[in-house]
A and B are shown apart, each in its own frame.
Chain A
Amino acid sequence: MRIKEEASRLLDSEYMVPAIFIILSYFAWQFSGLTGSFVFNQVVTRFIRDGILVLSLIIPVVAGMGLNFAITVGAMAIQTALLIVIAYQVEGIKGILLAIIIGVLLSLVLGYVIGRILNRVKGKEMITTIIIGFLFNSIYQLIFLVGFGTFIPVANKEIILTRGIGVRNTVDLGMYRNTIDKLGLFKIGELEIPLFMIIIVLLFAAIIFYILHTRFGQEVKAVGSNMQTSEILGINTDMIRIKVMILSTILAAFGQLAYLQNIGMFDVYTAHMNADIISCAALLAGGASIKKARIRHALMGIFLFHTLFIVSPQAGQNLFNNAALGEYFRSFVAYGTIALALIINIKNENKFS
């Protein structure tokens, strides 16, 4: 009996998942035969690419709404803004600023809509956000694959398919590529550290830390721990939850912008597709749960998850002579982490209630 208790305590501790990731990544790295500096550079790149997206998940978790799979909606908002800016050929820094403004406004509206929807499905937020993500994806495709060139006139003919309807699969972000990555790029031997972007990610982390420690943040925590009590205390829980979703969506929009400007190419129909799964898995890898998430979980999780993500295809190649097996391992880790976190969390919830 003691052993069982010890085992379940170990399983519940927030260091369990990170420890598994460290062990797995270490072995996968050994088998992959990649140099440490290569892996490090890759992980740092992923850190600045995905950092803000992962951070955008924290506030909904604190508000007790679980993992927000609808961050893809924020990602699509900024992509829409970028496509509009490109379609009307607004170039340079002016273009980026315009894209940000449009993207934030769109995220604000969409975040409000998502918040309203989630207020009607209390207790089932996660499944609803997944479905919302898929639904908005088809609306997004409808606009850009069918709407552009038919109902919506486009000045920039370069991004339109030859048949005259629909946006191409990939759009070049040449005019905005790596505009800010290269700022403050440090080199220590073979290691490259894009200092400016790291500071940006940490700045977003600081903003979230600050928000969670304001009065609003306290209310969010109260709503997250007990909705009935906070309602009695005079907190407008529905409004708080809507604000949380708006914030999360806007942060996701910024996250996707960082991601796209780092890659420099823009897969119009697929760039946002797995943003939710990978970000959620990264957050959980850092030791968060669907009830509790801190900024350190996000920051640590990105490093742990992406180390495994980078080394596993090569490890699959070397171990089984088949890179595809490493790919499968990657998807298994991403989905499996979320599945395991859900099962453990819900089981505990049922035990206490």
Chain B
Amino acid sequence: MKNYRLKPPQIIISAFLILLIGLSYILHMDLVVLMNESMVKLVMNGVLVLSLIPMLNVGAGMNFGLPVGIIGGLVGMCLAVNFRMTGFYGFFMAILFTLMICTLLGWIYGLILNRVKGREEIAGIFIGFSFIPLMNYFWTLAPFQNREMLYPIGGQGLRPKISLENYFNHILDNYGLISIGNIEIPVGLIVIFAIICLFLYLYFRTKIGRATIAVGENEAFAKLSGINISQTRLIAIIISTIIAGFGICIYAQSYGFIQLYDEPLSMAFPAVSAILIGGSTGKKTFIFEAILGTYLLQSMYLLSVPIANEILVPELTEILRTFITYGIILYALLVRERRGIYS
């Protein structure tokens, strides 16, 4: 953290954010409500962004194969809903199922990525993309019993959007919610987020965590000091996958729905761009950078929706969103290569 300095993308995003805040002030929007929402959005998306860190630090690049972990989380939640587990118990069980499934998926994913060392990003994109249609078979054919999850009439299999209304909708959002005037602080949500951050922080303090960073910084040197490269990479990838699974559980309980089928297809790119805005260069990344990037990006999204509606072109938000997402990733690719950080 010593050599931290602002980078062009952060400056641009921050300037844009200030512009949006100014605009929303002129348009008489309720900034307090937006502030409250921005806290929820931070945690909602933040865990998915945090999940990228172990893979970045082990030198496996940006995890464009995020859908793998997300799908693990979706299966975990579907299982919990299928057995009609409600409330905290339901959410806890969903997390537990996710943990088991993501460990398995992450292990397989890690084995594949170990074979394509150095080109994990492009391979990850297509592993994620091809895993999604494969899982569509599972959503359609798996023998789920709960009527609330299935297509009401006609269709076969799970419906694309499963409501969590009767299960664990907003379970963390509403837990320990403190209101001071209009300002609401979702303590439960923030505590969970802090726990995951703390876990990552402690992980990188352990022996295996230090080995992870060593592999990421200089693989040849790490090998000479007797670190088992493949195993270290495998563990980092499994942890990444598990946290991604938790991330989608937290996302879904905030959002109120489990989104299946092609929904995870485009979820990797916003997460990656968030961590890049935070200042990561696709190599060693700090937890702080993930949090900062997510907060900036999500607040900007949040502000741009009502403003775009105000100026009569609602599609503008979505277009700007994709433009910023991909623009940032492209910028990061260009800068990283020029500095020759990657061989």
Name the residue among A117, A335, A347 with the largest chain B CB count within 10 angstroms.
A335
Contact mask for chain B residues 117-154; partner A; CB cutoff 8 A; 1 contact, 0 none: 11101110111011011101100110000000000000
Cα(A336)–Cα(B133), bound, Å: 9
Contact mask for chain B residues 239-282; partner A; CB cutoff 8 A; 1 contact, 0 none: 00000000000000000000000000000010000000000000
Q: Which of B306-331 contact A (CB under 8 A)?
A: 312-313, 315-316, 319-320, 322-323, 326-327, 329-330
Find out whether the CB atom of A131 lies under 8 angstroms from the CB atom of B140: no
CB contact under 8 A between A122 and B337, given known A135-B327, A350-B116: yes
Interface size class of A (residues with CB under 8 A): 35 or more
Cα(A123)–Cα(B333), bound, Å: 11
Residue in contact with B338 in the complex, picked from A120, A123, A127, A165, CB distance below 8 Å: A120
Task: Please name the residue on chain B nearest to A134 by beta carbon.
Answer: B326
Cα(A165)–Cα(B308), bound, Å: 14
Q: Which of A149-187 contact B (CB under 8 A)?
A: 163, 165-166
Q: Is B207 interfacial (CB-CB < 8 Å)?
A: no
Find out whether the CB atom of A346 lies under 8 angstroms from the CB atom of B326: no
Q: Is A202 interfacial (CB-CB < 8 Å)?
A: no
Find out whether the CB atom of B322 lies under 8 angstroms from the CB atom of A138: yes
Residue in contact with B119 in the complex, picked from A335, A339, A342, CB distance below 8 Å: A342
CB contact under 8 A between A120 and B337, given known A328-B137, A335-B133, A347-B116: yes
Residues on B with beta carbons closer than 8 Å to the beta carbon of A130:
122, 125
Residues on B with beta carbons closer than 8 Å to the beta carbon of A321:
156
Q: How far is the CB of A61 from chain B (nearest CB, A)?
A: 14
Cα(A343)–Cα(B113), bound, Å: 9
Main secondary structure on chain B at its contact with chain A? helix
Find out whether the CB atom of A124 lies under 8 angstroms from the CB atom of B326: no
Q: Is A332 interfacial (CB-CB < 8 Å)?
A: yes
Residue in contact with A165 in the complex, picked from B112, B122, B313, CB distance below 8 Å: B313
Cα(A349)–Cα(B137), bound, Å: 33
Find out whether the CB atom of A135 lies under 8 angstroms from the CB atom of B326: yes
Cα(A320)–Cα(B329), bound, Å: 41
Residues on A with beta carbons closer than 8 Å to the beta carbon of B269:
134
Q: Is B334 interfacial (CB-CB < 8 Å)?
A: yes
Residues on A with beta carbons closer than 8 Å to the beta carbon of B312:
163, 165
Find out whether the CB atom of A350 lies under 8 angstroms from the CB atom of B330: no
Q: Is B115 interfacial (CB-CB < 8 Å)?
A: yes
Cα(A330)–Cα(B132), bound, Å: 12
Q: Is A98 interfacial (CB-CB < 8 Å)?
A: no
Name the residue among B119, B127, B315 with the largest chain A CB count within 10 angstroms.
B119
Find out whether the CB atom of B313 lies under 8 angstroms from the CB atom of A145: yes
Residue in contact with B140 in the complex, picked from A126, A324, A331, A346, CB distance below 8 Å: A324
Cα(A79)–Cα(B88), bound, Å: 52
Find out whether the CB atom of B323 lies under 8 angstroms from the CB atom of A126: no
CB contact under 8 A between A350 and B319, given known A325-B140, A339-B123: no
Q: Is A322 interfacial (CB-CB < 8 Å)?
A: yes
CB contact under 8 A between A142 and B319, given known A131-B326, A322-B140, A331-B133: yes
Residues on A with beta carbons closer than 8 Å to the beta carbon of B117:
350
Contact mask for chain A residues 180-209; partner B; CB cutoff 8 A; 1 contact, 0 none: 000000000000000000000000000000
Of the A-B pairs whose beta carbons lie under 8 Å apart in the complex, a sample of 26, sorted by A's number, is A121-B333, A121-B334, A124-B337, A127-B125, A128-B330, A130-B122, A130-B125, A131-B330, A131-B333, A132-B330, A138-B320, A138-B326, A145-B316, A146-B315, A166-B313, A166-B315, A325-B141, A328-B140, A331-B133, A332-B134, A335-B126, A335-B130, A336-B130, A342-B126, A343-B116, A346-B118
Given contacts A124-B333, A124-B337, 4 further A-B contacts (CB under 8 A): A138-B320, A138-B326, A146-B313, A335-B129
Chain A residues near B (Cβ < 8 Å): 117, 120-124, 126-128, 130-132, 134-135, 137-139, 141-142, 145-146, 163, 165-166, 320-322, 324-325, 328-332, 335-336, 338-339, 342-343, 346-347, 350
